[in-house]
Amino acid sequence: MHEYLGYFDSNGIYTVVGNVKNENNFAVIPTITVSLIDDSKTISKTIKHVPLAAGKEIPFKIKFPEIKSNTPILVNPKLSFEKTITHEVPIQIIYDKTLVKHDDGHISGRIQNTGNETVYFPKIFAVVHGYENVLDITQNIEYIEKIEPGEILDFTMYPDPAITEDVFYYSCFAPVDTTVIPVTAKKNGGDFDFRYDSGAWYSAAKFDESGTTMTMRGYNSYPLETYANFEFAPISGNEKFSVTINDEPVEFIQSIDEMGFWHVAFTVEPQSQGILKISGFETGLPPELPIIPNWIKQNADWWSTKQISDSEFLEGIDFLFEKQILSVPTREVISELQWKIPQWVQAPASWWYEEKITDEEFLNIIENLVKREIIVI
């Protein structure tokens, strides 16, 4: 842990920021627990950050709306990690005359995808410094759906308005493919877990008695519009959502991702706050979702019956590695032209689709074959 401090933001919410560096020679997934003592009561929050490559560092920010006193005590953080396999996000900050810190304290610049694959929903984090100390952690406030190989895009970052006049410079620009904030709200007698990704901040999530409408308080302190993207586990899979802010309808996009989760995304107006209301949830709690998306299991059947190619089936296996559902100690990235899988693996793939073996048994088979380089991906 390099920098670590707390402050009250422009909305009066106590905020803790910091910067984690991976000093190992292997990639890790860091878990950070931050605790505060507020009037003799200890409040703790834990975040499991995105995978962090060897020698790299990444900032984090956690808000504590629960803090009531003016003098909370920030306790030393607890940091742990698990070894993982990851590869650097191929996005670089362009350090030229277009990277400019403006008089009002914000910074603008450009990023470039220097890799060979499209990166979806990238974010750029940065540490904001005063003349002698760290002030804040900030991120790009524009919604970036994707950046193609070689493409160059603009980005803008704003510090919290409470510290704008003290900004001296920005450092530790850290690209990540995505990061989300986990939230739990009580729903129909149980816990409903969801996540969101946004340049704004949301708190006090709660459901009505029927469990079909959720409300939250939202804040966007920045002078530019930003975005919000909420992720919900399906209950029936037939949910039809609606969104309002201060009871006014909001245009939004509802979609479902490759893992089977709903996404509700919309634009957030500059320097705005209000009550966000999302309606259309089914009653009850989500069923436990399979750890392997159904489309990969369907691909196993199609591949075992020779309806799709080896590479199409292996794209699904590669997806399981990207999501850390599968992992092996040493796995190097190679081009798709070098991927290979023996045809006799079609038998266990067929057994899996027909539920003659479990998900866990199939994953063990694949991990073992990749580890032994019988499957190369």
| Statement: residue 325 has pLDDT above 70 | yes
Give the span between the Cα atoms of 104 and 107, in whole angstroms: 9
Q: What is the DSSP letter of 188?
A: T
Q: Identify the three-state secondary structure at position 301.
A: helix
Predicted confidence at residue 176, as pLDDT, reads: 73
Give the span between the Cα atoms of 137 and 282, in whole angstroms: 37
| Statement: residue 95 has pLDDT above 90 | yes
238 — pLDDT class (breaks 50, 70, 90): very high
Paired with 232 in beta bridges are: 194, 262
Residue 55 region, left (φ>0) first, then alpha (ψ -120 to 50), else beta? left
**Number of H helices and number of E strands within the chain?**
4, 26
pTM above 0.85, yes or no: no
Does an H or E element contain 352, and which? helix 346-353
Sequential DSSP letters for 27-46: -EEEEEEEEEEETTEEEEEE
| Statement: residue 275 has pLDDT above 70 | yes
Residues 300-309: what's their mean pLDDT?
A: 91
Report the largest interatomic distance among the alpha carbons of the chain, rounded to a whole angstrom: 66
Give the span between the Cα atoms of 249 and 255, in whole angstroms: 18
Predicted confidence at residue 178, as pLDDT, reads: 59
Q: For the chain, state the CA radius of gyration.
A: 22
Q: What is the DSSP letter of 223?
A: S
Q: What is the DSSP letter of 317?
A: H
Predicted confidence at residue 88, as pLDDT, reads: 67
Predicted confidence at residue 115, as pLDDT, reads: 84
Give the span between the Cα atoms of 333 and 89, in whole angstroms: 13
Predicted confidence at residue 258, as pLDDT, reads: 78
Predicted confidence at residue 240, as pLDDT, reads: 96
3-state DSSP percent of the chain in helix, strand and coil, to 5: 15, 40, 45
Do 59 and 18 meet the contact criterion of CB atoms below 8 Å apart? yes
For the chain, what is the mean pLDDT? 88
**Tokens found for residue 38:** 């507020």
Q: Is the dihedral of CA 315, 320, 324, 328 positive or negative?
A: negative
pLDDT tens figures, 34-66: 999 998 899 998 887 777 778 888 888 888 988
Q: Identify the three-state secondary structure at position 213.
A: strand
Cα 258 to its chain centre, rounded Å, is: 15
Give the span between the Cα atoms of 48 and 181, in whole angstroms: 10
Cα→Cα distances 340→95, 309, 317, 373, 377, Å: 40, 11, 12, 9, 7
Residues 168-176: what's their mean pLDDT?
A: 88
